[in-house]
Amino acid sequence: MARIKIKHKLDPNDNRTKQKLLEALANTNINICNLISTHDGGIVAVTANDNDADTLLNYNNVQELNKAGFDPILPPEVKSRRYRG
């Protein structure tokens, strides 16, 4: 499982934010196990595996999420794995 933090530009008090994120992810075929709200107003998406995390973070999916008001953040452990060569 991988955890991807997702910032959003939506109202932090809106209970539908997680639903909107799930709708934005629906077309990406990514298995999300859980969505966890953070104290700073973000959301952590827990993926089923590292491949789903990589799919979530690919350029096209990030662009689609940005259009919906969400900004996924590349976790340091994924970043180091990608650039180890």
- Percent share of the chain, pLDDT over 90: 22
pLDDT band at 66 (very low <50, low <70, confident <90, very high): very high
Segment 29-57, tens digit of pLDDT: 888 899 998 888 889 999 888 888 888 98
Check: CB of residue 30 under 8 Å from CB of residue 56.
Answer: yes
> Domain limits of the chain?
2-83
2.60.40.10, 2.40.170.20, 3.30.70.260, 3.30.465.10: CATH of 2-83: 3.30.70.260
The owner of tokens 């107003």 is: 41
Q: How far apart are CA 8 and CA 78, in angstroms?
A: 21
pTM of the predicted model as reported, rounded to 2 decimal places: 0.81
Inform me whether the pLDDT recorded for 14 exceeds 80: no
